[in-house]
């Protein structure tokens, strides 16, 4: 069962994320990054965080421990920004907390050039993302962190932020468990990921028993607004059934073709040139904002 804690102090918002999570201290003396139920992404993002995060941990991938946090907006009465206060007031009650990683560094494209990742580890992470349809671990938004162990062992990769995974739960009736997704721009695609070995190792471990245990961790209140399901348990059954069907269909969706960083750079340059071709001269001097990657999250400002 996920540990339940109570927030005792609100430290600061993390504005780099679209959901504006916050750093809080709790009554167990722990420090957490909290994702709030009142955020624009809603409760489905928290459901995805629990299911994918706990699945990652069960499969041996490094992911910070999760907890359920009882949050009273009164502990953040000092927060000066009105939009953050609105978010916090809309999030009274039970929210999701992730263990804070002090000193962690974003896994950025610049860091990726010098950081070694084992092909099997890269394959395992990509396999998990493909299974859970996590479309938000790209070269420009990795949702990976490097956490130093202060001389005990080399720095290691940690997974964070799975709120954009499980995209099928936004349209249950329109997504096939066999559907393939484009993972060519995955953040770890340049490390020769051995996804076939990862599939052989991990697929047998994703059992009905494991998925039932993981989905049982999701609070009932976060499943009540699932359309088409009469009870939270019916919604849990849908998650279990879909993921079981997807893992059995891995041959249909297993990503195996990953371009090099140089090939991706060439593709980007070609796309940028094509974008400019049909423009009138006056527009060619206007930056192509749509062709640029989204702003990279910089948690190092908050976690350093």
Claim to verify: residue 228 and residue 109 sit in the same structural domain: yes
289: in domain: no
Claim to verify: residue 74 and residue 134 sit in the same structural domain: no
Claim to verify: residue 109 and residue 151 sit in the same structural domain: yes
Residue with tokens 């956490």: 147
Q: Which of the four pLDDT bands, split at 50, 70 and 90, describes residue 239? A: very high
Mean pLDDT (whole number) for 146-150: 80
213: in domain: yes
pLDDT of 17-27, one tens digit each? 678 999 999 99
User: What stretches of 175-254 show up as alpha helix (H) in DSSP?
Assistant: 195-202, 208-215, 232-248, 250-253
In this predicted structure, what is the pLDDT of residue 267?
Answer: 81
Whole domain around residue 159: which residue ranges? 105-253
Claim to verify: residue 112 and residue 245 sit in the same structural domain: yes
- Partners of 25 in the beta sheet? 9, 31
| Contact assessment for residue 253 and residue 179, using Cβ atoms and an 8 Å cutoff | yes
What the block records as the tokens of 182 is 């484009």
Claim to verify: residue 133 and residue 91 sit in the same structural domain: no
Task: Annotate 246-301 with DSSP letters as a single string.
Answer: HHHTHHHH-------HHHHHHHHHHHHHHHHHTS-TTGGGS--GGGSPPPPP-THH
In this predicted structure, what is the pLDDT of residue 271?
Answer: 78
Mean pLDDT (whole number) for 273-301: 53
The residue among 228, 253, 278 that closes a domain is 253
143: in domain: yes
**pTM reported for the whole predicted model:** 0.87
- Checking if the pLDDT of 282 tops 60, the result is no
Claim to verify: residue 82 and residue 117 sit in the same structural domain: no
Instruction: Please compute Rg for the chain using Cα positions.
Output: 20
Claim to verify: residue 214 and residue 95 sit in the same structural domain: no
Crossing angle of helices 208-215/42-58, nearest 10°? Answer: 140
HSE of 244, CA atoms in CB hemisphere, 13 A: 14
Claim to verify: residue 110 and residue 245 sit in the same structural domain: yes
pLDDT of 64-107, one tens digit each? 999 999 999 999 999 999 999 999 999 999 999 999 999 899 99
- Checking if the pLDDT of 248 tops 60, the result is yes
296: in domain: no
Q: What does the alpha-carbon distance between residue 49 and residue 138 come to, in Å, rounded to a whole number?
A: 17
249: in domain: yes
Q: What does the alpha-carbon distance between residue 131 and residue 204 come to, in Å, rounded to a whole number?
A: 13
| Contact assessment for residue 133 and residue 139, using Cβ atoms and an 8 Å cutoff | no
Claim to verify: residue 67 and residue 125 sit in the same structural domain: no
Claim to verify: residue 50 and residue 149 sit in the same structural domain: no
The residue among 54, 71, 101 that closes a domain is 101
Claim to verify: residue 74 and residue 15 sit in the same structural domain: yes
- Checking if the pLDDT of 32 tops 80, the result is yes
188: in domain: yes
The residue among 101, 118, 148 that closes a domain is 101
- Partners of 66 in the beta sheet? 98
- Checking if the pLDDT of 285 tops 80, the result is no
Rounded to 5°, the CA angle 203-251-185 comes to: 90
55: in domain: yes
Instruction: Give kind and range of the element (H or E) at residue 51.
Output: helix 42-58
The domain tally of the chain equals 2
Claim to verify: residue 20 and residue 142 sit in the same structural domain: no
**Residue 149, CA distances (Å) to 58, 74, 107, 109, 111 in order:** 22, 35, 16, 22, 17
Percent of the chain scoring above 70 in pLDDT: 88
| Mean pLDDT, the chain, integer | 89
- Checking if the pLDDT of 304 tops 90, the result is no
278: in domain: no
């Amino acid at each position: 069962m996920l540990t339940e804690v109570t927030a005792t102090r609100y430290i600061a918002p993390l504005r780099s994320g679209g959901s504006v999570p916050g750093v809080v201290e709790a009554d167990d003396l722990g420090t957490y990054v909290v994702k709030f139920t009142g955020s624009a992404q809603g409760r489905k993002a928290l459901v995805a965080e629990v299911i994918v995060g706990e699945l990652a941990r069960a499969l041996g991938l490094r992911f910070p421990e999760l907890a359920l946090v009882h949050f009273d907006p009164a502990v953040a009465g000092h927060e000066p920004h009105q939009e953050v206060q609105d978010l916090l007031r809309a999030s009274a009650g039970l929210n999701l907390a992730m263990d804070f990683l002090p000193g962690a560094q974003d896994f950025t494209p610049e860091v990726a050039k010098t950081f070694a990742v084992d092909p099997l580890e890269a394959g395992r992470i990509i396999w998990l993302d493909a299974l859970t349809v996590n479309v938000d671990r790209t070269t420009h938004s990795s949702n990976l962190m490097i956490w130093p162990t202060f001389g005990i062992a080399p720095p290691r990769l940690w997974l964070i932020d799975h709120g954009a995974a499980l995209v099928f739960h936004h349209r249950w009736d329109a997504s096939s468990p066999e559907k393939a997704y484009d993972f060519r721009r995955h953040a770890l695609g340049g490390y020769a990921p051995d996804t076939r070995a990862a599939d052989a190792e991990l697929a047998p471990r994703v059992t009905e028993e494991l998925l039932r245990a993981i989905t049982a961790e999701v609070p009932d209140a976060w499943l009540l607004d699932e359309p088409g399901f009469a009870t939270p348990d019916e919604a849990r059954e849908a998650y279990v059934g879909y993921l079981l069907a997807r893992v059995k269909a891995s041959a249909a969706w297993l990503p195996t073709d990953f371009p090099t960083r140089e090939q991706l750079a060439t593709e980007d340059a070609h796309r940028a040139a094509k974008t400019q071709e049909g423009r009138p001269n006056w527009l060619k001097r206007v930056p192509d904002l749509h062709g640029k990657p989204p702003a990279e999250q910089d948690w190092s400002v908050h976690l350093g």
